[in-house]
Amino acid sequence: MLRSGASQTSRSLRYTAAVDAFSLATAPRPACNGWEAELSLAYDRRGERSVLTRRSHRGPLVVQKSLYPEGGSVCQNVIVHPPAGIVGGDRLTLEVIVGAGAQAQLTTPGAAKWYRSAGTPAQQRLRFSVGSGALLEWLPHETIVFDGAIAELDTQIALAADAIFIGWEIVCLGRRLAGERYANGRWSQDITIRRGDARQWVEKMRLEGSAPLLDSPVGLRSEGVFGTFYASRSPMAEDLIIGCRKIACADGDVAVTSLPGILLARYRGSSSEAAREYFAALWMHIRPMLAGREATRPRIWNT
């Protein structure tokens, strides 16, 4: 355990500096139209241990050593994008394959930032595949979308019949602490969750800067932060849904609903911190029932 906030900060800075030096030394120089970065990870079950068996990257998107805060069953990795910000023309791809029986948890060291674009969109693609009896947890910090950013996100999640997926996405439109509104640009987000050959969930979102939906009561109601929490297992117990609906949020509007084999929770408000704590509370509540183990908060969240 870290003994103080100063120790945590020091360790976080050393971790980030080490990754920066490694990644920037090995990454190709960006072309005039932005960085192209790819990271491919694969996990397999070796006895009672989940192991990162493939780690390949091109450009500034990396992980360092695997962590085991819960013992050998769950392999935890922190996804690091050393430039910290995403600009027009950048293209990031994260591919994750979790083999049969393996358990992997992915998080990030801080918020992702999408900067103003001169006209070229920035792109992020997530490709997750979870095998039979396997578990994947995608627990990132929030995404901050600067005014004028043109961002395109595409997430594809493929699950085996008895695989488990838990994840969330939190979006902050504009730098709220600086009083910035999202008046220009475009935010596009496509999410598809498949189990076997069947689509469980498909969502397509397009938000233009200053669009009426940003202020509409049926949209964001002038709030700058929104997010979605996903949990997928087949079948999904009804008492799990009831328990999640009892979890309160410190700030903002929340709702929990269910479809066959999937639980969805929404946040709409003004605080990315409140959204993240609410989603973390949901995760801590449902993880024992879905994955058969108590939730342990990633240490990187405290730095």
Domain, as residue range, for 137? 5-220
What is the rounded average pLDDT of the residues 230-244?
A: 89
Rounded to whole angstroms, the Cα distance separating 186 from 274 reads 25
Could you give the count of Cα atoms lying within 13 Å of 198 in the half-sphere of its Cβ? 7
What is the rounded average pLDDT of the residues 117-133?
A: 96
pLDDT digits (tens, 9 = 90+) for 90-107: 999 999 999 999 999 999
Share of the chain above pLDDT 70, in %: 89
Say if residue 83's pLDDT is above 90. Answer: no
pLDDT digits (tens, 9 = 90+) for 209-218: 988 988 999 8
Q: Is residue 290 part of a domain?
A: no
Q: Is residue 120 part of a domain?
A: yes
Query: What number of other Cβ atoms are within 10 A of residue 27's Cβ?
Result: 19
Which amino acid is residue 17, in one-letter code?
A
Phi, psi of 93 (to 5 degrees): -130, 125
Total count of domains within the chain: 1
Which amino acid is residue 275, in one-letter code?
A
pLDDT band at 26 (very low <50, low <70, confident <90, very high): very low
pLDDT digits (tens, 9 = 90+) for 126-135: 999 999 999 9
Q: Is residue 275 part of a domain?
A: no
Question: Which pLDDT does position 278 carry in this prediction?
Answer: 98
What is the rounded average pLDDT of the residues 259-279?
A: 95
Q: Is residue 252 part of a domain?
A: no
The answer to whether 226 and 214 are in contact (CB under 8 A) is no
**Residue 150 contacts by C-beta under 8 Å, 6 or more apart in sequence?**
88, 117, 119, 120, 121, 122, 185, 186
Phi, psi of 48 (to 5 degrees): -95, 10
pLDDT digits (tens, 9 = 90+) for 139-161: 999 999 999 999 999 999 999 99
Q: What is the mean pLDDT of the chain?
A: 88
Look at strands 164-173 and 143-145 and give their pairing.
Answer: parallel
Q: Is residue 245 part of a domain?
A: no
pLDDT digits (tens, 9 = 90+) for 172-217: 998 877 778 889 999 999 999 999 989 999 999 999 998 898 899 9
DSSP result, 73-85:
TEEEEE-B-TT-E
Question: Which pLDDT does position 15 carry in this prediction?
Answer: 37
